[in-house]
Structure 1
Amino acid sequence: MNPTFDKHEKINIILIVISLISLLTSFILSIEYLSLIAIILCGTPIFKESIEGLITEFDIKADLLVSIAIISSIIIGELFAAGEIATIMAIGGFLEDHTVKKTQNRIKELIKITPQIATRIKNGNEEKIPVDEINVGDMIKILPGESIPTDGIIVNGESSIDQKTLTGESLPIDKKENDEVYSGTINLYGSFIMKTTKISQESSLQRLINLIESSKPENAKIVRQADKWATLIVVIAFISAILTYLYTFEITRSVTILVVFCPCALVLATPTAIMAAIGNLTKNGILVKDGQSLEELAHVDELIFDKTGTLTYGTPKVVKIISDNPKEMMYLAASLESKSEHPLAKSIVKHYNKSELAEVNDFKMHIGKGVSGFINGSKIVAGNKKLLELENIPLNSDVKTNGEIPIYVAKNTEIIGKILLADTLRKTSKETIRRLKGLRVKTTLITGDNEKTAKSIAKEIKIRNVKSDCLPEDKLEYIEREQILGHRVGMIGDGVNDAPSLRKANVGIAMGDIGSDISVEAANITLINDNISDIPHLIGIARKTVSTINRSIGFALSLNIIAMGLAILGYLNPIEGALIHNIGSVIVIIYSTSLITYKISKNYEKLGTTKNLNKTKFKRYNYKKHGDY
């Protein structure tokens, strides 16, 4: 994904770069007046927004605090500090605005999944029509490789459909007459005729687009920590300065009060901690779009996992071979399946992983059933029970599966073996779930797969809360219910079908390596390397970041109050006040930047029982004992 910037954003980038260069030059050459460039370029928009907010909305927010901090720093001669504050805030504002714009643009790309032209059969003739002209009841012909333009029912033919876009299922679904098909899914092999049940504007894909556009957390705009204290600080500082002057008639004391109450440390507490935390996470292959996501993640008490591509690898693999002569059986099966493009066939050939394959004659693909052909004069068949029935091959003994897909291999009407395939778990899934329980986070599995497959995966990794056969709107409804109950919900997914849920959740986490661009843009956080074992560290540093910010703010406020008291009593002059002010800012910065090297305690990995959970330092969070932790 290459970032794209509009003209306004490019101008902002140029201004920020010039400001950073001026600050760096000012620091290296000790020419403090160069910092004025950063103050003018990055500080002017902040001054403008704070004045507009004060006049039009009568609201005192962090922008006003930042303005006071910049102006106060200029008054006491700290031009570099003023330029630094202005530039840091400008970078943060740019990243937030750009994130919103990218998400909106990515949503539009969903439209590309739907074809613009469809083949309609009317009065026995085929005609090409725009998808928007499709009416309910029209007969539409779908060829192999085509995307289905709208929802409907197959009336003639059969095929295998890739429904990953809508349901996230890792394997194609066999469809025959009277089965439903959905817009945005892909017809893989056979051609068929469908009768439309919805117009394109009301189809499943369009509904998915609408869900993504409308889904957002109820509290999407988290109030910055500095905003919470802005009004109180401004009022106290100015009232104290005025009253002190009226009582003592000493302007020096009033100026000192404004200097020591300059909220530099308070303003720097949040962005410095967030930038340090984001730097830490980036080193570990985790991208975080904004500080608000970290704040929300710190209070998440339930994580919802999509199955395919998240807890599992998202591709079928051979998990078991049953045969009296497995070497010969796999040789014949791989040779036959090498002629097919079906995902199951590719997995069998990949598992065999040998170059010597037999020549196949009279190869035939049986849509939704399997394949057949002749090898060295013998007829070889590989497929499901339906194909065995078609070829009159007796099934002497069935195989018990636990969510796996069985492929029967027969030679001259006799079954010689079975191959079981399944979407396998990631190696780190089970350990990740265990560690999340240690962090008192409820885990839930939501998937478009069938109940048997979903429960099999959940049982293996010990997730008790399972929801199967879920469409995008089902996932969305579950998240809404949990949020109504007071839960802070995080969603982890990888596909287009997860995008609405990623946006609706308090925090959306996308699998970046295999995840679709749309799901990545809809999410707040991206796991670049698809390593879900990083999630406990992610939650741990989010909690540590919030804790660090709160402590820094508490320290800054305490220092300001003490210094203001000393200034009122005349024990501090402006120069001494400026020194205390700078010391406070340095302490906050040093403490916040310690997050760069922070690592979650290994003790968390040993947690897992209720007895141990009660002893964790996270028990101060008000987690509801609801469900499986």
Structure 2
Amino acid sequence: MKFTKEEKIEITLIAISAVSLITSFILSLEYVSWIAVILCGLPIFKECSEGLITEFDIKADLLVSLAIIASLMIGEVFAAGEIATIMAIGGFLEEYTVSKAQGRIEELVKMTPQVATKIENGIEERIPVEKVQIGDLLKVLPGESIPTDGVIVKGETSINQSTLTGESLPVDKKENDEVFSGTINLYGSFTMKTTKISQESSFQKLIKLVESSEPENSRIVRAADKWATMIVVIAFTLAVLTYLATFEITRSVTILVVFCPCALVLATPTAIMAAIGNLTKYGILVKDGESLEELAKVDELVFDKTGTLTNGTPEVVKIISDNPREMMHLLASLESKSEHPLAKSIVKYCSNENPTEVTDFKMHIGKGVSGTINGSKIIAGNKKLLEEENIDLKSDIEPQNGEIQIFVAKDSEILGNVELADSLRRNSKRTITKLKGLRIKTTMLTGDNEKTAQHIARQVKVRNVISNCLPEDKTEYIKREQTLKHRVAMIGDGINDAPSLKKANVGIAMGDIGSDVSVEAADIALVNDNIEDIPHLIGIARRTIKIINIGIGFALTLNIIAMALAILGMLNPIEGALIHNIGSVIVIIYSSTLVRYKLSRRDCRQPRKLGMTKHLNKSKV
């Protein structure tokens, strides 16, 4: 366990105060207790004065200060010293808990790359990372932290991406693969071309997201603070009334001690910070505590299809040809000259094939490509292109599920066709099942045609589907659901999803950390691109609110019982201080259980009927 310099000083002062109290008790030297009053009491007086003078903020420190002063006035120096020491211990535990929950920020800042090796005209030069510009060539050696975001242009390696994604295993990287700032190059050296300056890199964005993960702006935190202020006023009033009724100052002092709302104030921030710490381990970044509050109330989750339920990249799903090997070799050779996403998917599918040289290559925008291979003219494209070339398709079979068709012809003779489709994420169906168990209505909004949308929806068992959506249609759907009193969370990955992410009660950004616009628009970011973490996210949000409510209820109950005993004269100030701080420690320990929370089967109850519409089209939005 490591402590900062300030924490070590605070521990030392508390230890000296504790020794002085023990000495005072054993040797009956009450004046020795003044050491505890001075060392632990003065900081409390200082915080109380600063809060009252600068902000006129009535805090628990006011009650503690009044209790210490009152104890000294009645000659109970030992009691005053013990109250000050116990309160100092409670305050230290509170600060230490919050500081450790936020300690990840400091760790990330320390890991920020400071220098980079720039290659210019074959000469290597070490420069500050702030001077790196987009397009610069950088060399990264084994063991070095990657200075900024970029693309590998030479070399192969394995990267430790745990700082960004939480992945425990290294990720293999080769030419044209993206690499991100703050991740560690494990093995081979490589040359990269920068795509972002350091201030806009993934790592800096991660730091900003974690820094913004504060619980103070949460509504439930503000409510707890208001309760705490009321309790201070009530405690002071009861202390005065009790003295006027009994003329026993000890009872009044004890009321001030036991009614301090420390446990009440601690319940919310410690729970929220523990939950945020838990989610960070899963690669989930929450911008603020209020997002967790909202998420706990969500009853509908709206999915974008492409890049969310699906991988967002087309894959070859069907090959129709009498000679598929020849056709795919010619197609891959031709498409190797193209930068189109469909071309890249085909080349990837035929990665074991060595492409044949292509001459007279030509792009037909929106239709396909053509070229000459071994003296034969090869054409690959959609029906429109082949019809323009007067090539007979022989059969015109429409794809059943909206797949993309690429027809291949050699010397005006059709060889066959290839069907490509966006592939489903392997855990999409499992995620939807868990969400139904959490009684969350699931909806899919997509710009794809109805046939494609229904095909994906059937696979993952999403019943509420809206196809042919423009960005404004998605926003309009969310607005309509909100007017029906639904709490809607939206999960998406692209720029077109940003308006919907903003409009939803909670916006969840999908995709890698480089998705700038969607991450900025969202309240929560899934850094590791794993939608199966969403049920865990909703589960811990609900659990957090439950733990906060239990903690607040426990704190209020303990305060009321202790106050009643103090009014009846059954507690003295020393006993009151012990009870008060035991309550604070219990609340901290209970809240900290969220750090190890995992979604269980018990959390996923059987789904109830949500009145979901089976298939809707754009006209019904």
TM-score by length of 1: 0.68
Give the 3-state SS of the residue equivalent to 2:219 in structure 1: coil
Question: 1:413 Cα deviation (Å)?
Answer: 1.4
Other-structure match for 1:477: 476
Deviations 1:401-452 (A, max 9, x none): 2121000011121211211111111111111011101110001112233333
Contact 1:465 1:628 (C-alpha < 8 Å) held by counterparts? yes
What CA deviation, in whole Å up to 9, does each residue of 1:244-283 have, x standing for no partner? 1111122221121111111111111111111221222122
| 1:336 aligned partner | 334
Pick closer, same or farther for the CA change 1:472–1:88 going to 2, 3 Å. Answer: farther
- 1:386 deviates by 0.8
Q: Could you tell me whether the CA contact under 8 Å between 1:358 and 1:375 is conserved in 2? A: yes
Q: Does 1:222 align with 2:206?
A: no
Secondary structure, aligned partner of 1:313? strand
Number of the residue aligned with 1:197: none
What pairs up with 1:302-381 in 2 under 5 angstroms? 302-381=300-379
Describe the shift of the 1:25–1:415 C-alpha distance in structure 2 as closer, same or farther (beyond 3 A).
Answer: farther
1:489–1:32 Cα change, 3 Å:
farther
User: How far apart in 1 are the matches of 2:289 and 2:66?
Assistant: 26
Equivalent position SS for 1:272: helix
The question of 1:627 aligning with 2:612 is answered yes
**TM-fit CA distance, 1:41:** 11
Aligned residue in 2 for 1:394: 392
User: Partners in 2 of 1:408 and 1:72 — Cα distance?
Assistant: 86
Question: How far, CA to CA, are the matches of 1:491 and 1:628 in structure 2?
Answer: 18
Contact preservation (8 Å) 1:495, 1:515: no
- The 1:481–1:47 alpha-carbon spacing in structure 2 relative to 1, beyond 3 Å, is farther
Partner amino acid, structure 1, of 2:6: S
Contact 1:435/1:607 (CA < 8 Å) preserved in 2?
Answer: no
Report the Cα offset of residue 92 of structure 1. Answer: 9.5
* Match of residue 435 from structure 1: 434
Kindly provide the CA deviation profile for residues 507-538 of structure 1, in whole angstroms up to 9, marking residues without a partner as x.
11112516612211221211111100011111
1:517 and 1:80, CA in 2 relative to 1: closer, same or farther beyond 3 A?
Answer: farther
Once residues 323 and 425 of structure 1 are traced to their aligned partners in structure 2, the CA distance between those partners, rounded to angstroms, is 25
For the Cα contact (< 8 Å) 1:42–1:87, is it kept in 2?
Answer: no
Are the counterparts in 1 of residues 368 and 385 from structure 2 also a CA contact under 8 Å? yes
SS in 1 for 2:512: coil
**CA contact 2:51–2:59 (8 Å) conserved in 1:** no
Please name the residue that 2:583 is paired with: 584
**Any conservation in 2 of the 1:266–1:552 contact (CA below 8 Å)?**
yes
Give the CA deviation at 1:358. 1.0
**Cα 1:29/1:325, change in 2 over 3 Å:** farther
Map 1:80-229; keep pairs closer than 5 Å.
80-85=89-94, 222-224=219-221, 225-227=223-225, 229=227
Give 1:284's aligned residue. Answer: 282
Letter of the 1:23 counterpart: E
Distance 1:88 1:245 in 2: 37
Aligned AA (1:311): L
Aligned to 2:565: 566
CA contact (8 A) 2:67 2:256 kept: no
Segment drifting more, 79-88 vs 537-546: 79-88
Q: 1:23 offset after TM fit, Å?
A: 2.3
Where 1:551 maps in the other structure, the secondary structure is helix
Q: Is the 1:494–1:516 contact (alpha carbons within 8 Å) kept by the matching residues of 2?
A: yes
Distance of 2:325 and 2:281 partners within structure 1: 45
* Contact 1:226–1:266 (8 Å) recurs in 2: yes
1:451 aligned partner, one-letter code: E
Structure 1 pair 86/45, CA: closer, same or farther in 2 (3 Å)? farther
1:354 partner letter: N
Aligned residues of 1:559 and 1:584 also touching (Cα < 8 A): yes
Matches within 5 A, 1:264-303: 264-303=262-301
| d(CA) in 1 for partners of 2:414, 2:45 | 77
Determine the structure 2 residue equivalent to 1:545.
Answer: 544
How far off its partner does 1:312 sit? 1.1
What is the match of residue 25 of structure 2?
none
Identity %, equivalent residues: 64
8 Å contact 1:260–1:581 — kept in the other structure?
Answer: yes
Give a deviation string over 1:27-61, Cα, whole Å, max 9, x none: 3785578999999999989986777776xxxxxxx
* Counterpart residue type for residue 90 of structure 2: A
The Cα shift of 1:70 comes to 7.3
Structure 1 segment 250-265 matched on structure 2, within 5 A: 250-265=248-263
Secondary structure of 1:327 counterpart: helix
Check conservation: 1:369, 1:386, Cα contact below 8 A. Answer: yes
Alignment map for 1:6-85 (pairs within 5 Å): 21-27=5-11, 30-31=14-15, 64-65=58-59, 68=62, 76-77=83-84, 78-85=87-94
Q: Residues 303 and 492 of structure 1 are in contact (CA less than 8 Å); yes or no, is this contact kept in structure 2?
A: yes
Matched, 1:414 2:413: yes
Evaluate the alpha carbon distance shift between residue 307 and residue 51 of structure 1 in structure 2; reply closer, same or farther with a 3 A threshold. farther
- Decide whether the 8 Å contact of 1:43 with 1:86 is kept in 2: no
| Separation in 2, partners of 1:375, 1:229 | 79
Where structure 2 has 5 or more consecutive residues not aligned to the other structure, the ranges are: 19-35, 69-79, 106-216, 615-621
Distance 1:580 1:88, change over 3 A: same
Deviations 1:7-40, CA, capped at 9 Å, x for gaps: xxxxxxxxxxx99641244337855789999999
- The one-letter code matched in structure 1 to 2:11 is F
> Deviation of residue 301 (structure 1)?
0.3
In structure 2, what residue type is equivalent to 1:506? N
Paired position in structure 1 for 2:461? 462
Are the aligned partners of 1:70 and 1:83 in contact in 2 as well (CA < 8 Å)? no
Matched letter for residue 541 of structure 1: I
Which deviates the most, 23-32 or 590-599? 23-32
Once the two structures are overlaid, the 10-residue window that deviates more, 384-393 or 38-47, is: 38-47
List per-residue Cα deviations over 1:288-334 (Å, max 9, x = no partner).
22221111111110001111111111111112111122111110000
556 and 603 in structure 1: CA distance in 2 versus 1, 3 angstrom threshold: closer
Opposite residue 356 of structure 2, the aligned amino acid is A
Partners in 2 of 1:39 and 1:350 — Cα distance?
Answer: 70
CA distance in 1, matches of 2:526, 2:478: 21
Q: In structure 1, how many angstroms separate the alpha carbons of the residues matched to 2:480 and 2:426?
A: 31
Q: Contact conserved, 2:14 with 2:88, CA < 8 A, in 1? A: no
Q: What is the number of residues matched between the two proteins?
A: 467
Distance in 2, matches of 1:270 and 1:529, equals: 28
CA contact (8 A) 1:280 1:597 kept: yes
Residue 45 to residue 26, structure 1, CA distance change in 2 (3 Å):
closer
Matches within 5 A, 1:437-456: 437-456=436-455
User: Cα 1:85–1:262, aligned 2, differ >3 Å: closer, same or farther?
Assistant: same
Offset at residue 564 of structure 1 (A): 0.3
